Chain A
Amino acid sequence: MSIKDGRRSSERRERRLGVSYAAPMGVWFTVFFIAPLVIIILYSFLKRGLYGGVEWEFSLTAYGQMFNPNFGKVLLRTIWISVVATAFCILLAIPTGYAMARSKHQTLLLFLIIIPFWTNSLIRIYAWISILSTEGFFNEILKSLGIIDEGLHLIYNHGSVILVLIYMYLPFAILPLFTTIDKFDFSLLDAARDLGATKFGAIRLVMLPNIRSGLLTAIVFTFIPIFGAYTVPLLVGGKDSTMIGNIIVDQVSKTRNWPLASAFSMILTLVSTVGVIWMMMSSRKEQAQKKNVTNQQKTEQNILDHHTTGGEA
């Protein structure tokens, strides 16, 4: 009895300690993540103040204002730019991750992918401006090669926005894909080819389904930040390349319609939530499958018994 009680009380103490271990993280998240989120949700349902801020009066005006054809255009543009940029990121990241996983110099390659993060992202965007602009690096090279006489308009359009977005977020696609491809058993590709698949067929039929979780993470990790991007369209986009992020900035700082800004940021929150839930659900499915593996030992024992007692009939 006493031993049992002792154990139970120590368990209880453990549990209490667990709470206190998690407390700093909990406080941090509450103050800097949940509280701001609640404020934004709240603001989106309030009336706008005349010079910024809000009036404490319930209102759905902000959500009504969102159904403006101009905003609709921006939302559609944000979606298609994000989809195209994400698709390119993934298409580039799969072969890159594959090559890295098969390389002998993995550490060096990982290092090379991380190096750009040492430079501030604004500076990197400005670097693209100096590369793409009409008198920029790229045009100067083409001119000196005699291919063109006059600088091409490579910047301040949708293309440049997509290009720079791909550049900015490609590492977020490469890293999760590299990690899953690295764990992938490459002998499966040999097996697929042995059984009649072409090189490309083996990758499509065997590798892609087995790196699903990495693909999913890569998609979510690139799509969400791209969807909320605002510096890239602001700096390398044209007059008509604004995205949702730019609307939010404008509504906060210029138009000073804080409830509308909050309502728009709710869209971003919604998109990320859906992405994260999708990721969680598919990882749970994978976990459920792995759980069955524990049954394997039982089966193995059965087989062994069968063979030893069944004899060499």
Chain B
Amino acid sequence: MLRNRIAQAMGGMGKRLKGVEVTAGHVTRSYGDFKALDDVSVRIEKGEFFSLLGPSGCGKTTLLRIIAGFDSPDSGTVLFDGKDVLPFPPEKRQSNTVFQTYALFPHLTVYENIAFPLRLKHVDKQEIDRKVREYVHLVQLDEHIDKKPNMLSGGQKQRVAIARALINEPSVLLLDEPLSALDAKLRQNLLIELDELHDKVGITFIYVTHDQSEALSVSDRIAVMNHGKVLQIGTPYEIYEAPATEFVAKFIGETNLYPCTVTSCERYNDEYMMTIDVPSLGRAIYVTDEEPMEIGRGLNFTVRPEKITITIEPPSKQKAGINTFHGIVEEPVYSGFQSKFYVQLDDVGTVVKVFKQHTNFMDDGPEIEWKDLVYVSWSADDGYLVKVIDE
């Protein structure tokens, strides 16, 4: 497989490039009335695989273009290892970009595309040839070296774009949704290759995507953005398990999210056990959190569908802090490794999403079907209180 080849090639070449720390400080950029970036600050560590994640129009690409030098901020700073790079045009920065549409030069062959940056630097002809062949081999395109881009498949084009961006030995590789034009299967494979490549070359990767599963699976850290603002910066685990805002909770994965009010709060071991009133669920429920909340405070309660248990029999009540509801299965969706159930609760009529993982035949329990009456339950530990409510 390609990643082994990359591991070998990079190892053989002794290629361990130097990454830089990239800092954006209070970056603001407007287009007319539209604020594409609103006081954005991020610090991306040396050699980190950092993702900018958000829906289209959230400002992630604008931020990437500002870091690359294609756009300038109205105010704010961009530093590479503490050095201001804003006065420099893109060709003078230690960053290279892999573009969403690959941006391969259609009039040049694979070889000439990859040689392009070296020829601009007037590198010795033999040295160009040696290096280009090395990188072509690296991305496994040896037999396509003399082809024009329009004869390559999407995945091959993407590899040419990566080889071309790396041949300059940049300190930061900027990736602008590089996989979005590929089909799902290919995307998954290239994602793994990209991750492997990052481990080998060791430079800073800044990866722009709107696909939360891509970001979760490869990033060291993620910045979730919306409406030109960074809402949360954290590891994939933090972002998924402890979303800082209502938007982050809804955007990353699927979730059940309801407004709630804190009614009681007491210390419980090293955590706080709270009861919260959730109007959509019709009654108060238990939830734990690391920090205490003041009584009467309005928050959002969220629980991930895969953390809810669905049973036909009522769950045994041995443990404290289990929240149980009764309802009817309105829509079962079978999707292979798991089933999704949309359960309408009695009385309140609220629909709760529940994902049930299929394991082996013996442990899977009785099959749950449409219109079955079921119990849904979750532990207080699996609920989470989202502190910021979006306006």
Q: Is A292's CB under 8 angstroms from B151's CB? A: yes
Query: Which single residue of chain B is at the shortest CB-CB distance from A311?
Result: B1
User: Does B146 reach chain A (CB closer than 8 Å)?
Assistant: no
Q: Is B96's CB under 8 angstroms from A195's CB? A: yes
A290→B107 CA distance, assembly (Å)? 12
User: Does B155 reach chain A (CB closer than 8 Å)?
Assistant: yes
Q: Is A188's CB under 8 angstroms from B186's CB? A: no
SS of A interface (majority): helix
Shortest distance between the CB of A289 and any CB in chain B (Å): 7
Q: Is A190's CB under 8 angstroms from B154's CB? A: no
A196→B99 CA distance, assembly (Å)? 15
> Which has the most chain B C-beta neighbours within 10 Å: A194, A308, A313?
A194
Chain B residues 66-80 with CB under 8 Å of chain A are 68-70
Known contacts A209-B107, A210-B107, A304-B186: does B68 contact A194 (CB below 8 Å)? yes
Among candidates B90, B100, B104, B148, residue contacting A194 with C-beta atoms closer than 8 Å: B90
Q: CB-CB < 8 A to A312: which residues of B? A: 1, 189, 192
A134→B247 CA distance, assembly (Å)? 73
Q: CB-CB < 8 A to B97: which residues of A? A: 190-191, 194
A206→B106 CA distance, assembly (Å)? 9
Q: Is B152's CB under 8 angstroms from A196's CB? A: no
User: Does B283 reach chain A (CB closer than 8 Å)?
Assistant: no
Among candidates A190, A201, A212, A307, residue contacting B70 with C-beta atoms closer than 8 Å: A190
Among candidates A188, A194, A198, A289, residue contacting B96 with C-beta atoms closer than 8 Å: A194
A210→B113 CA distance, assembly (Å)? 14
A290→B96 CA distance, assembly (Å)? 29
User: Does B105 reach chain A (CB closer than 8 Å)?
Assistant: yes
A193→B148 CA distance, assembly (Å)? 21
Shortest distance between the CB of B150 and any CB in chain A (Å): 5
User: Does A187 reach chain B (CB closer than 8 Å)?
Assistant: yes
Q: Mark B85-127, 1 if CB is under 8 A from A, else 0.
A: 0000111000111011101111100000000110011000000
User: Does B153 reach chain A (CB closer than 8 Å)?
Assistant: yes
A300→B153 CA distance, assembly (Å)? 5
Q: CB-CB < 8 A to A205: which residues of B? A: 116
Chain A residues 288-306 with CB under 8 Å of chain B are 289-290, 292-293, 295-296, 299-300, 302-304
Q: Is A313's CB under 8 angstroms from B153's CB? A: no
Among candidates B69, B91, B99, B104, residue contacting A197 with C-beta atoms closer than 8 Å: B91
Among candidates B89, B96, B117, B153, residue contacting A299 with C-beta atoms closer than 8 Å: B153
Among candidates A212, A290, A302, A307, residue contacting B189 with C-beta atoms closer than 8 Å: A307
Shortest distance between the CB of A104 and any CB in chain B (Å): 11
A13→B304 CA distance, assembly (Å)? 67
Query: Which single residue of chain B is at the shortest CB-CB distance from A298?
Result: B153
User: Does B245 reach chain A (CB closer than 8 Å)?
Assistant: no
Shortest distance between the CB of A288 and any CB in chain B (Å): 11
Q: Is B105's CB under 8 angstroms from A308's CB? A: no
User: Does B29 reach chain A (CB closer than 8 Å)?
Assistant: no
Chain A residues 186-218 with CB under 8 Å of chain B are 187-188, 190-199, 201, 205-206, 209-210, 212
A50→B120 CA distance, assembly (Å)? 67
Chain B residues 177-231 with CB under 8 Å of chain A are 183, 185-186, 189, 192
A209→B101 CA distance, assembly (Å)? 19
Shortest distance between the CB of B152 and any CB in chain A (Å): 7
A197→B155 CA distance, assembly (Å)? 26
Interface size in chain A (residues, C-beta < 8 A): 35
A196→B91 CA distance, assembly (Å)? 4
Q: CB-CB < 8 A to A198: which residues of B? A: 89, 91
User: Does A310 reach chain B (CB closer than 8 Å)?
Assistant: yes
Q: Is B120's CB under 8 angstroms from A190's CB? A: no
User: Does A5 reach chain B (CB closer than 8 Å)?
Assistant: no
Shortest distance between the CB of A209 and any CB in chain B (Å): 4
User: Does A57 reach chain B (CB closer than 8 Å)?
Assistant: no
Q: Is A190's CB under 8 angstroms from B90's CB? A: yes
Shortest distance between the CB of B141 and any CB in chain A (Å): 11
A5→B91 CA distance, assembly (Å)? 67
A303→B117 CA distance, assembly (Å)? 28
Q: Is A300's CB under 8 angstroms from B154's CB? A: yes
Q: CB-CB < 8 A to A194: which residues of B? A: 68-70, 90-91, 95-97, 165
Shortest distance between the CB of B95 and any CB in chain A (Å): 8
Q: CB-CB < 8 A to B30: which residues of A? A: none
User: Does B168 reach chain A (CB closer than 8 Å)?
Assistant: yes
A178→B91 CA distance, assembly (Å)? 27
Among candidates B103, B152, B192, residue contacting A190 with C-beta atoms closer than 8 Å: B103
Q: Mark B131-169, 1 if CB is under 8 A from A, else 0.
A: 000000000000000001011111110000000110010
What would be 5 A-B contacts, judged by CB atoms less than 8 Å apart? A191-B104, A194-B95, A196-B121, A201-B120, A304-B185
Assuming A292-B148, A304-B185, A307-B186, what are 8 further A-B pairs, CB within 8 angstroms? Answer: A191-B105, A193-B90, A193-B91, A195-B165, A289-B150, A293-B150, A299-B151, A310-B1
